[in-house]
């Protein structure tokens, strides 16, 4: 197990045989076995680490289980946004596949992940100097990317969706 993952929680298991069959049909796994772990610290979307034999890592995100507000947790929008953002802002995950099957729907982002720490507003004052500088540099790079000042990215509106504040 990775330092930042754990076993998948029992109530949040993926249908691994169905997922494996889907990824094979999409020529994604190409006969390689898939193992799944979970990033346990999320508060909303469920996030999994898919590791293919040979060591290729991918991140699969899906909406939370149960009812969700309309337009909330829009994995298709997230995928399209990442497709537009990654080429001009490489720190953003590179999407590899969009799966719209409701059993495990969500974008699958390419590996190259770095161990990350989520930063909540009330934690900002406790960041190490190096982490704070990296956060500021990354946000500045995003602000100066070709996306800055645009109202959309490849047809995906940037900013809050209608009805969200």
pLDDT class for 155, splitting at 50, 70, 90?
A: low
pLDDT class for 112, splitting at 50, 70, 90?
A: low
Average pLDDT over residues 92-119: 68
Residues in the chain, overall count: 165
Q: Does the pLDDT of residue 121 top 70, yes or no?
A: no
In angstroms, the Cα distances linking 50 to 6, 28, 33, 35, 112 are: 12, 12, 10, 6, 13
SS3 of 9, please?
Answer: coil
Range with top average pLDDT, 7-11, 44-48, 72-76, 120-124: 7-11
The neighbouring-strand residues paired with 108 are 60, 97
Where would I find the H helices in 86-151? 129-143
Give the model's pLDDT for residue 156: 56
C-alpha 54/C-alpha 76 separation (Å) is 28
* Of 156, 162, 21, 163, nearest in space to 76 by CA: 156
pLDDT class for 38, splitting at 50, 70, 90?
A: very high
Residue ranges and CATH numbers for the domains of the chain are: 10-115 (3.30.200)
């Amino acid at each position: 197990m990775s330092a930042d993952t754990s076993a998948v929680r029992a109530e949040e298991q993926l249908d691994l045989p169905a997922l494996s069959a889907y990824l094979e049909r999409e020529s994604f796994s190409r006969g390689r076995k898939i193992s799944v772990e979970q990033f346990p610290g999320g508060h909303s979307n469920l996030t999994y680490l898919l590791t293919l034999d040979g060591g290729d890592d991918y991140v699969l995100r899906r909406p939370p289980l149960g009812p969700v507000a309309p337009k909330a947790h829009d994995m298709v929008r997230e995928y399209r946004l990442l497709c537009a953002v990654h080429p001009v802002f490489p720190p953003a995950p590179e999407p590899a596949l969009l799966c719209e099957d409701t059993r495990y729907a969500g974008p699958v982002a390419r590996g190259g992940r770095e161990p990350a720490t989520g930063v909540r507003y009330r934690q900002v004052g406790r960041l190490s100097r190096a982490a704070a500088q990296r956060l500021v540099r990354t946000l500045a790079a995003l602000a100066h990317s070709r996306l800055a000042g645009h109202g959309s990215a490849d047809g995906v509106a940037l900013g809050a969706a209608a009805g969200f504040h």
